[in-house]
Amino acid sequence: MDLISRPMIMFGGKGGVGKTTCSAATALHLSSSGHKTLIITSDTTPSLSDIFEEEIGDNIRSIEKRLDAVEISDEAILNKWKKKFGPDFYEILSHLIDVEGLDNESRHQLLDYIGSAPSLREETMLDLIIDLAETCKYDRIVWDTAPAGETLNLLNMPAYIRKHLSAGSRVFEGLDKIGKKIIGKRSIAQIMDEWSTASERISRYIHMRSAFILVANPEALVVKQARRVVEILRGYHIALHGMIINRMITTADSQSLRTLQGMQETYLTDLIKLANGLPVAMMPFSLKEIKGKKALKEAGGGLIKELNLQG
């Protein structure tokens, strides 16, 4: 896979498998290798600050030379929605009700309420991430995604939105007919067409400019969900670049560890088969947490090489 044409690398998988650690290690090593890199986390309970051992937050900040980081918060998503899409909603409502009669507090409450709707939150999050990716400030975007179920719904959101908008085209045209005619303002149908185009842009970037790396542990439930993730990614036509198998027991100096190692071998075989010839990187089990820049750099070097991410 040509990673030069796919600058965004998404790390996904079941909650608790080590996605954030793998994302941070990869981002740090990419930046150390000369790539201007941004690492993003969209997890609702982010741990990026803990892993880097410094506060990050929802404003982009420099971690070290050529590496920036941001933890996307619900507040940042809502502010993005209000700034980019809020005026459109206000314009739509102006066709139907007397929004000019609302005071400023009521207008803000209305936009906050609409902007917190689940599908709009996800679409706005994607829009925010793609905007960051298209600034041309970065050679690589490393996206530490939320747990698998939430992320898979998120990645399908542009297609869902486009389908929904297309199905509602006659409704929008009907609303335009019965709504107020306001000189100088777009029709509801025109606004919806623009939203559909914006959603297509997001979908195109995900399909053409991103690569997905699945993080998994050699455990029964994780393997089961990994199969589901791969199947859904194929259905969405999203490129799976490779897999990281984390927490492998490489040294077994007790009977209990040898037993666990034997169990892992079975699931390791299943995961390698699931990768179907794609690059696979192994991360050994460690009694110590991998956190702090020194430990992350050491882990990242192996991941970069085994996953062929040098491009």
C-alpha pair distances (Å), 122 with each of 15, 44, 129, 203, 213? 18, 12, 11, 13, 21
The DSSP-derived string for 212-278 is EEEEE-SSHHHHHHHHHHHHHHHHHT--EEEEEEEEE-----SHHHHHHHHHHHHHHHHHHHHHTTS
With tokens 């506060």, the residue in question is: 55
Q: Which residues contact 200 (CB under 8 A, 6 or more apart)?
A: 158, 162
pTM, whole model, 2 decimals?
0.82
Quote the distance between the C-alpha of residue 6 and its chain's center: 14
Residue 252 burial (10 A CB sphere; 0-12, 13-18, 19+): middle
Helix (H, G, I), strand (E, B) or coil at 305: helix
The amino acid sitting at 7 is: P
pLDDT tens track, the chain, 311 positions: 556 678 999 999 998 999 999 999 999 999 999 999 999 998 877 889 999 999 999 999 999 999 999 999 888 888 887 787 777 766 666 655 555 555 677 666 656 655 555 567 777 888 899 999 888 789 999 999 887 767 777 777 767 666 655 655 555 455 555 455 554 566 666 777 777 788 888 888 888 999 999 999 999 999 999 999 999 899 888 889 999 999 999 887 788 888 888 999 999 999 999 999 999 999 998 878 899 999 998 888 889 889 988 65
Q: What is the largest CA-CA distance in the chain?
A: 80
Residue 239 CB coordination number (10 Å) = 18
Residue 240 has a pLDDT of 92
Residue 3 has a pLDDT of 62
Q: Which of 138, 159, 16 is nearest to 66 (CA)?
A: 138
CATH superfamily, domain 8-78+122-166+210-306, is: P-loop containing nucleotide triphosphate hydrolases (3.40.50.300)
Domain ranges of the chain: 8-78+122-166+210-306
Residue 23 has a pLDDT of 96
Helix (H) or strand (E) holding 106: helix 104-115
Q: Which of 165, 122, 162, 167 is nearest to 145 (CA)?
A: 122
Helix (H, G, I), strand (E, B) or coil at 8: strand
Q: Which of 39, 68, 18, 34 is nearest to 310 (CA)?
A: 34
With tokens 């936009």, the residue in question is: 111
Residue 272 has a pLDDT of 97
Helix (H) or strand (E) holding 71: strand 67-71
Residue 173 has a pLDDT of 56
Percentages of the chain per state (helix, strand, coil), in multiples of 5: 55, 15, 30
Residue 183 has a pLDDT of 45
